[in-house]
Amino acid sequence: MATDQEILGREDVNDLEAIISITNTDVHETIHAVADNADAIFTWDYEKGARPALNKLYEKAKHAQWNGETDLDWSIEVDPENIVSGLQGSNAAGPFEWVANHPDSPLKNFGDAEWTKVGVESMNWRLSQFMHGEQGALLCTAKIVETVPWIDAKYYASTQVMDEARHVEVFAKYLQDKLTDFYPINAHLKMLLDDIIVDSRWDMTYLGMQIMVEGLALAAFGFMYQLTEEPLLKQLLRYVMSDEARHVAFGVLSLKEYYAELSDTELRERQEFAFEAAVRMRDRFLQQEVWERMGVDGRKMVKILLDAPPDQLIFQQMLFSKIVPNCKKLGLLDASDAWLRHRFEEIGVIQFEDWADTGEEYLEFDAVSQDRAKAESA
C-alpha cells in the first residue's frame, strides 16, 4: 500500500512548503512534451451497440454538436468588472470574505477597488485553467480512442475529441477577445495532467480525466453558470456543460463495468490515483499565481486558505459535488476498508457522496437539443 509520500510526494496533505514549492519551470515555453507510454489498441470486433449505454451516449453526442463561432453571440460587449460584481454579490470580497476577515490576512485592508481587481484576476485565472484543462482533455480523449478496447467506446471518445477542441477554442477566444489577460497553466494542474497522460493503463486515463478533471469542471461550470449574469459567458458555459455531462457519464458507464472485475489490490491503486487527483485539484484552487500577480504574500495566503474551515470555502467544496458521488458509483469509496472515503473525509468533501451521479444526468444538460426544440416550435 502506497504512503502519502509515494502518492503525493509529501507526507502531510497540507504541507505548506511542499505545496508552494511546486512551480512551473517552463512557464515561458509554448511547447510541453510528455511521454505517452500506452499501446494503440485495434479491435476487430465491430459490433456496434454491444454496450447499449455507450451507444446511446454516442448517438446523443452526434446530435449535440455545436459550433463555437456561429452558435455563440460574440458581438456581445463584455465588461470584466461587471461580471465580477455579479459573481461577488453584496460583499466586495465575495468568496474570500473569510480570508479578508482573518487577522493575519494580507487582504484585510483591501477596499472595493482592490477586491474588484482580485475578482477580475481570479476570473482570468480560473477561465485560463479551464482552457488548459480542456486541452488536457483533448489529448487524453485522443489517447482513449487509441487505447480503449471496445468499439462503442472508441466511437464515443472520437466525438469527445471534437468537443474538447471546441472547448479550448471558445475559452481561448473569450479570454483573448473579452477579458483582460490569461494565465499560464497552474503547476498543480500541469502535474496532474502529466500523470494522467504518462500512465499506460487506459482506465487510468478515464479515471483521471473523465471522472476527476471533467467532474470538477462540470461542477465549476455549473456554479459559475448559476452566478453570472453576463450573457455570452452564460451561453458559453451552458453549451460546454451539456458536453461535459456526457463526458463524465462516459467515464462512469465505462469504468463501472471494468471496475466490477478488478481485484482489491487493483482497486486500491485506483483509489490512490483518485485521491492524488483530488489533492492536486484542491491545491490548484489555492491560485498562487493570482496572489503573486497582485503583489500579495502568496505563502501567507496559501496557509490561510489551507487552515480555513471547509464551510467558509463553498466554491472550493462544491467543485467535488460531481466527483464524490461518481467515485461512490464506481465502488471506489468503500473498497479497501473504505480507504478513499476516509481520505475524502480528511479533505472535507465526503458530504457530497449521495448527490446525483452523472450516469444519466447528462440528459438534463442537453442544451443543444433544448435550443433546437425551441427553434422548431417557434
Supply the CATH number for residue 173's domain.
Answer: 1.20.1260.10
Structural domain contains residue 23: no
Position 47 scores a pLDDT of 95
Structural domain contains residue 4: no
Among candidate residues 201, 158, 146, 178, the one with its CA nearest the CA of residue 61 = 158
pLDDT, tens only, 45-89: 999 999 999 999 999 999 999 999 999 999 999 999 988 877 776
Position 288 scores a pLDDT of 93
For 32-43, what is the mean pLDDT?
94
In the chain, how many domains are there?
1
Position 293 scores a pLDDT of 92
SS3 of 308, please?
coil
Distance from C-alpha of 290 to C-alpha of 25, rounded to nearest angstrom? 17
Distance from C-alpha of 282 to C-alpha of 278, rounded to nearest angstrom? 6
Structural domain contains residue 62: no
Query: With contact defined as beta carbons under 8 Å apart, do 334 and 341 qualify?
Result: yes
Structural domain contains residue 41: no
pLDDT, tens only, 265-301: 999 999 999 999 999 999 999 999 999 999 999 999 9
Nearby residues of 226 by Cβ (< 8 Å), 6 or more positions away: none
Structural domain contains residue 308: yes
- pLDDT averaged over every residue in the chain: 92
Residue 210's domain comprises 80-370
Report long-range pairs for 302-307 (Cβ below 8 Å, ≥24 apart).
Answer: 302/16, 302/19, 302/20, 303/16, 304/99, 304/102, 304/104, 304/105, 305/99, 306/14, 306/16, 306/19
Structural domain contains residue 126: yes
Residues present in the chain in total: 378
Q: How far apart are the first and last CA of the chain?
A: 60
Distance from C-alpha of 172 to C-alpha of 265, rounded to nearest angstrom? 41
pLDDT, tens only, 194-253: 999 999 999 999 999 999 999 999 999 998 999 899 999 999 999 999 999 999 999 999
Structural domain contains residue 92: yes
Nearby residues of 64 by Cβ (< 8 Å), 6 or more positions away: 242, 243, 246, 366, 368, 369
- Angle in degrees, CA 370, 354, 327, rounded to 5: 85
Structural domain contains residue 47: no
pLDDT, tens only, 314-325: 777 888 999 999
pTM recorded for the entire structure: 0.94
Write phi, then psi, for 376 (nearest 5 degrees): -70, -30
Position 92 scores a pLDDT of 74
Nearby residues of 10 by Cβ (< 8 Å), 6 or more positions away: 4, 18, 19
